[in-house]
Chains A and B, each alone.
Chain A
Amino acid sequence: MSKSPYEVLGVDKKASDDEIRKAYRKLAKSLHPDLNPGDKEAEERFKEVSAAFAIIGDAKKRAAYDRGEIDETGAERPQWQSYRQYADTDARHHYHTNAGYEDFADLGDIFGDLFGKGARARAGPIRGADVRYHLRIGFLEAARGEKKRVTMPDGKSLDVTIPRGVADGATVRLKGKGGPGRQGAPAGDALIEIEIEPHPVFTRDGLDVLIDLPIALDEAVLGGKVDVPTVGGRVSMTVPAGVNSGRVMRLKGRGIKDRSGRQGDQLVRLMIAAPGKIDDELKDFMSKWRSGHAYDPRRFLKGAT
């Protein structure tokens, strides 16, 4: 889900119009593209902040957003749609039922397999309802998988086994942990939808893990071995001599491994980091070096405008 305009501006949902305006001005001042020439990230953030203010900075639009009539891009959401439009589609939804096909099994194995699944409904006793939960877990918990006991919002305590490499939005089913059944019928299931928290260092793309790795100026020029954090621990990687920022190195098999044994890679994007302080020695060396070896890294941009 994308960020709400309140989150973008870092204000409370109950913030006054004045507070919102102040928060926007403060962010806009620090992010304005004309004050941050060439800073792509600031430019993107500025666009985001402006879009957020366009909605909650306007009393009418803010009210519409709070009522859920428009989304964070300002696009209108349908006011009302019949239930059928949602229920009678090919997309799976949680009111879909496979109950009531058990007599189909007589037709043969193929149909028994197709329609028999989950067909446990009988007349009289009624199976308990499935209860759906939402659970936020850490990035590494999701990558490694683990067992944990969690207290759900309705006060129920559940032992959840998070499968290794679980994907964001996946559902974990706990058999018999939902609502109680009637007249001795089995209980329903607990369906837990997993949300993975973002990690400050790692991001995920399927089973691949992406990371930005800062390297020193000398490492970029001379190459060498560097330590890289991965979800499985630190790994040594060889940086070739003469690399540029943005170069992506692939650590095969160092991404996320899922339950079926599929294994992703880690993609390491190199970012050259200049030393915080430029000392006289470096300054002298660079000045001398430049006089004989000057090159123009922007020669490809000449025809751009």
Chain B
Amino acid sequence: MRITEDQVLLRVRYITANRLRAWVERGWVTPLKGEAGDEYDEIDVARIDLIRQLRDDLAIEPDTVPVLLSMMDQVYSLRRELRCVMRAIDSQPENVRTVIVTEIEKIRSS
């Protein structure tokens, strides 16, 4: 279920409308643009809270935030791709799996 900006402000502590809008403006958070205003998913709410922690608790400079977010997005995306590959290997017959694992170990230690 998606929630409105007002609901986000009620749910995430220490966030003002101006602050949230500035983050959306910079593309750090990408809510859905609906007819009645921006609509936020659960992942957006969690991301807003993450940015708040980076800024307030960890004192990360504004210019550094997008760099960190981009790195995080890439890491999570990579982990997802890796899980896909692992799942594909896992669904292969025993002998194919063995060949692949042996090959991976060979390449790694070379």
Contacts and interface: CB of A to CB of B under 8 A. Distances in A.
Interface of A: 1, 66-69, 71, 80-90, 93-100, 115, 129-134, 136, 152-154, 179, 193
Determine which residue in B3, B32, B70, B84 has the highest number of CB atoms from chain A within 10 A of its CB, and name it: B32
B63 to A, nearest CB: 14
Nearest to B49: A80
Given A87-B43, A88-B79, A96 B73 contact: yes
Interface in B25-49: 27, 30-35, 37, 39, 41-43, 46-47, 49
B1 interface: yes
A13 to B, nearest CB: 10
A100 B74 CA distance: 8
B104 interface: no
A176 B19 CA distance: 27
Contacts of A88: 76, 79-80
- What 4 pairs across the A-B complex have the smallest Cβ distances? A134-B34, A129-B27, A86-B43, A83-B50
B43 A96 contact: no
Contacts of A100: 74
A249 to B, nearest CB: 37
B43 A93 contact: yes
19 contacts: A83-B49, A83-B72, A86-B46, A89-B80, A90-B80, A90-B84, A93-B43, A94-B43, A95-B43, A96-B73, A97-B74, A97-B77, A129-B27, A131-B30, A132-B30, A132-B31, A134-B39, A136-B35, A179-B27
B47 A71 contact: no
Determine which residue in B42, B50, B74, B76 has the highest number of CB atoms from chain A within 10 A of its CB, and name it: B76
B33 A133 contact: yes
